[in-house]
Structure 1
Amino acid sequence: MDVTILLVEDSPTDAAILSAALDDVGCQWPIQIAQTGDDALALLGQIDCRSHVHPQLILLDLNLPGKTGHEVLREIKRNEVWQAIPTIVLSSSATPNDIYKSYQLHANAYITKPTNFSDYQLMAQKIYDFWLKTAQLPART
């Protein structure tokens, strides 16, 4: 699995907007999109435990068909191979309960989705600058 960013997003429009915003800010890292929680877990399940090749970052929506984002987050953070992958919840929900539960399940950050493209670009720039250029992420081989 040669993916740097795993975007778990059921809305093709939101996925396209975020991908375009990341591209606009200079992010050339490959993005794999999973439209359901089950698809995301299946993609992560392809990780070879011996090679430790994995996404560098997971961007996770909460409102997904099938398994919810919280259920996916729980499985990611319980899995010995996946738990070190920084996982950012990216949701339209700003409810305190969703935010609290996400951090309780060990999300690395919680970001409420912007409502316009310029705000998406600003958010994408911040994600790119911090998570992909500044932070030390788990080594890939």
Structure 2
Amino acid sequence: MATKPLFLIVDDDADDRDLLNLAYQEGSYQCDLVFAEDGREALKLLEQSPVRPSVMLVDINMPGMNGLELLQKLKSSARWKGMPVVMLTTSNNPRLIHDAYSMGANSYLVKPDNYHTLSSLWDALYGFWTNTAKLPTYAVSQGVS
């Protein structure tokens, strides 16, 4: 029996997490969402989860370990470097966009400024990562390196 895809959303802004969760709840999505408030919490969740996330949505500007630091840690790990990471942030800074792609981000999206557009974005993200993209399967027996 296949498990449902898992989306790990890493964002320190409670309002942004709530809006993504609302968009998720209003649809009929066959996936699970897990939230982390920063990069350190995301790494702890990855270490403890029996299910490997299908994709991570990561904000950049967070206290503790920011999104680029998390991305660097993931992409330098043999276990996690193949996991898709989508940067979902408020910044449209060309330097951050360049840095994110240079570090291995699979996509860079700017957070919409209204709920309707965010809901449409979530729908597109879900559809792409669950129906269009082909993702590898992984055993979750090894720790974060």
TM-score by length of 2: 0.87
Distance 1:25 1:123 in 2: 13
Distance 1:34 1:84 in 2: 20
Provide the residue aligned with 1:32 in structure 2.
34
Distance 1:10 1:3 in 2: 22
8 A contact 1:25–1:124 mirrored in 2? no
Q: How does 1:1-141 map to 2 (within 5 A)?
A: 4-46=6-48, 53-140=51-138
8 A contact 2:5–2:32 mirrored in 1? yes
Structure 2: 5+ residue stretches without partners: 140-145
User: How many angstroms does 1:90 deviate by?
Assistant: 0.2
8 A contact 1:58–1:86 mirrored in 2? yes
Secondary structure at the aligned position of 1:101 is classed as helix
Secondary structure at the aligned position of 2:134 is classed as coil
> How many residue pairs end up in the alignment?
136
Moved over 2 A (4+): 22-26, 45-48
User: How many angstroms does 1:132 deviate by?
Assistant: 1.4
Distance 1:105 1:43 in 2: 22
TM-score by length of 1: 0.89
Deviations 1:95-122 (A, max 9, x none): 1011000001100000000000100011
Q: Which amino acid aligns with 2:110?
A: T
8 A contact 1:3–1:32 mirrored in 2? no
User: How many angstroms does 1:22 deviate by?
Assistant: 2.7
Deviations 1:62-97 (A, max 9, x none): 011111110000001111111111100000000101
User: How many angstroms does 1:3 deviate by?
Assistant: 7.1
8 A contact 1:15–1:33 mirrored in 2? yes
Deviations 1:22-68 (A, max 9, x none): 333422311110001110111122357xxxx4111100000111111
8 A contact 2:9–2:56 mirrored in 1? yes
